[in-house]
Structure 1
């Protein structure tokens, strides 16, 4: 059973920690700060978090005045940050920047998660370098179990969809990579050219889309943080 006892201190750090420092809470806030509003989409950003615990954390944040839960025009509940929640943006992003600067990179690359990687890539992808038509880019991670090897990004103008099953469109570019290499590129720890030269990344399809991958991939919002040595 999870312990939720308070710290019993009047210090604002203590009081804030009682709200923000329970397991998964900062990751739920990360998803909300990235613009995710629906329960099922929040789950895609924290795929290892149980639905019951996600629901519990959202209710806790709602009680704390950090999250507002309101039905949309279709009656589906959406979650939005309140003014207090939005005020957490520099704090949560600061934690991510600190992690990028000071957490040893090889330690980060042990925590590989294809679902989170592809979901992050989907929401940060830059469609400008791509052709002005629907583009389908398939990613294959051969070392993963069959059910988790394939992902499809479907880009149509400014809309980007992520599919875990074949959407039925012609594939413009097939990207075959190790999960570690693609995660390293996404996090700014490597670049496309280096992984291609190392034989860890291969393309099959439109050469123009392939050559522009470093530009359309978008990268993690923390990728440009300079690395430090702890």
Structure 2
């Protein structure tokens, strides 16, 4: 158990569980529908596996998460108590968009960006068959500059090595601009006009790319004047 505030206040009791480092981000991933351990790691790329295991164990003991095992596959599923945290996570995201200042360079992680984008693909808007979007981030550190989303009728995979399929469209951008689009701070048309983002491929597909993604709910939160 973490340290106690020794207060009966329910805010204090909730904070004893949730204010440990990384715990709220683990809950964020679970609220977003991630259930497998390795997928949780992809949404939390800088969290060690050992710490993730500890946080999941504590959330399970607290009744926030249930550990389901079937055919040697382990899934971590939110309980009713866990699902009730969704409005809090959404409210924190909205508050962060409105009131937290400019992002530092260390906050711009293409791995996390592509992981978040992959779970917000609108499968009904993507062409039939296999669609491969190659993302190029020339300003990212070596090893994080090239990414692929492989989209089929019922699945989206994130690849950091060439999957070997024909590329449908290629998106080239600096990481900050792509993150700005994803956070709702920069529109696709403005980014394209400013040459912060370039899309290559057949014209009809180039124009369609923005419609293939549904921005996170917090991207539409109004900012203070």
Q: TM-score, normalised by structure 2?
A: 0.95
DSSP-derived class of the 1:154 partner? strand
Q: Which of the residues 194, 203, 222 maps onto 2:218? A: 222
How far has the Cα of 1:109 moved from its partner?
A: 7.0
Question: Counterparts of 1:25-64 in structure 2 under 5 Å?
Answer: 25-64=23-62
Q: Which of the residues 81, 86, 91 maps onto 1:84? A: 81
Question: Counterparts of 1:117-196 in structure 2 under 5 Å?
Answer: 117-196=113-192
Query: Within 1, Cα distance between the matches of 2:112 and 2:46?
Result: 10
Q: Which of the residues 75, 79, 93 maps onto 2:72? A: 75
Query: Within 2, Cα distance between the matches of 1:110 and 1:102?
Result: 19
Deviations 1:114-161 (A, max 9, x none): 111000000011122221121100000011233111110011113111
Question: Are 1:206 and 2:202 an aligned pair?
Answer: yes
Deviations 1:168-224 (A, max 9, x none): 100010111000000000110001111111121112212222112222121122111
How far has the Cα of 1:97 moved from its partner?
A: 1.2
Query: Within 2, Cα distance between the matches of 1:38 and 1:158?
Result: 18
Query: Within 2, Cα distance between the matches of 1:211 and 1:170?
Result: 19
Q: TM-score, normalised by structure 1?
A: 0.93
Query: Within 2, Cα distance between the matches of 1:94 and 1:108?
Result: 22
How far has the Cα of 1:67 moved from its partner?
A: 0.6
Structure 2, unmatched stretches of 5+, are none
DSSP-derived class of the 2:34 partner? coil
Query: Within 2, Cα distance between the matches of 1:60 and 1:69?
Result: 12
How far has the Cα of 1:108 moved from its partner?
A: 6.7
> Does structure 1 retain, via aligned residues, the 8 Å contact 2:149–2:156?
yes
> Where do 4+ consecutive residues of structure 1 move more than 4 Å?
none
RMSD between aligned alpha carbons?
A: 1.5
> Does structure 1 retain, via aligned residues, the 8 Å contact 2:2–2:17?
no
How many residue pairs end up in the alignment?
225
> Does structure 2 retain, via aligned residues, the 8 Å contact 1:109–1:183?
no
> Does structure 1 retain, via aligned residues, the 8 Å contact 2:134–2:167?
yes
